[in-house]
Structure 1
Amino acid sequence: MTGTAASRLRGGPAPASPPPFTTLVELTWVEKKIEHWIRFGHQTYEQILDRRRRVVGFAPNSVFALNRWAANEFGTIISRIDIVRTIGAGEPLQTLPFVRPGGDILLKIEGWPKVEHVLQAIDAIEALRIDPAEVSPEHWRHVHNRLTAGQEPRTYSVEQHRAFLLRRRAEP
């Protein structure tokens, strides 16, 4: 992310407000206790709150993946990944912890084995030199549905991606 791509704050006065309709995501990193991070997506805003917390923003109609993991003295208590399409003014939304106001949830998976499967699917897409944030939203819904049903999702292909890009270009 470049300085022109995001507003950034390291202490001091409050940053300029994020652009209108920016979806804000609160991230926390407390080593081996709470780890929330963005797996992919294109931030348009960032505000660093302190050493462990920051807020990032995404423009309307963009896609990002939010990983959340937490543990206590007995081990992992949550392992989750959400892939979300940000919404514009007046669009319906679903609420999600740490995401304001919420978004269109394309994938919501809990439990390390399934989360690992999603991370592997993201890695496979990146191996094709395709940005996961540019993948068809229907593919993320497919991955969600198949993993929820305990089935193997189909892999995303370059041909599928080309068809999605052509369809998107043809939309009014």
Structure 2
Amino acid sequence: MAATSPTIAPPLAVLAGRTSAAPLTRVSLAHIKHRINIYLRFGEPARTIRLDRWRRVAMFPPGAVFCRIRWQANDYGTIRWQLMVMQACTPLDVAQRIPGVLPGAQLLLHAEGEAAVRAVLARIDAIEALGIAAIDVSPAYWRTLGNRLSARLPLPEYTAERHAVWLAGRALP
């Protein structure tokens, strides 16, 4: 019994010092020139690990919002454009399984195809032009944008007033 207590004590001490014991969401990123480019458009990883020349893993704490873009090509040109805005979650939250995202995340927006991805990138640029960080945008806006995109309806603008309402609602108990 005495032999097991020294081995148990250090991990508990490490967990007690952390602000959150929830595991980090791991997002795989890659870049092979003229073939594949999987990168973050926005998001603030808690840590990034470089695996080799071509691959990295970004780690996000629960609640973090990030955008991953996937571009693929073959000998004949581009074969895939994909953009996903996701929110990292805790083990108790509902999460979707997404390739390259472990253990999963809440999918806020999914755009597939060059036209859809470019439309969303234009919205992200417009948000950043307002001086608002894309990671601070309301998750409801990303869901609305994704729904409008899939229904082929006009895409809504994100305004400073809408952002102020989101921040005020988040501050309420």
Q: TM-score range by the shorter chain?
A: 0.7 to 0.9
Identity of aligned residues (%): 39
Q: For residues 136 and 115 of structure 1, what CA distance do their matches in structure 2 show?
A: 19
Deviation at 1:89, TM superposition (A): 2.5
> What is the correspondence of 1:78-157 to structure 2 with a 5 Å cutoff?
78-157=80-159
Give the equivalent residue in structure 2 for 1:4. Answer: none
Higher helix share: 2
For structure 2, the 5+ residue unaligned runs are 1-20
Once superposed, what is the RMSD of the aligned Cα atoms? 1.0
8 Å CA contact retained: 2:30, 2:56:
yes
Give the equivalent residue in structure 1 for 2:27. Answer: 25
Superposed CA offset, 1:100-146 (max 9, x none)? 11111000110000000000000000000000010000100111011
Q: Report the number of matched residues.
A: 153
Give the equivalent residue in structure 2 for 1:167. Answer: 169
Please state if 1:35 is matched with 2:30: no
TM-score (norm 2): 0.86
TM-score (norm 1): 0.87
Larger Rg: 2
Letter in 1 for 2:46: T
Letter in 2 for 1:96: I
Residue 66 of structure 2 aligns to a residue whose secondary structure is strand
Q: Which of 65, 68, 74 matches 1:66? A: 68
Deviation at 1:45, TM superposition (A): 1.1
Residue 149 of structure 2 aligns to a residue whose secondary structure is helix
Q: For residues 105 and 52 of structure 1, what CA distance do their matches in structure 2 show?
A: 25
Residue 58 of structure 2 aligns to a residue whose secondary structure is strand
Residue 88 of structure 1 aligns to a residue whose secondary structure is coil
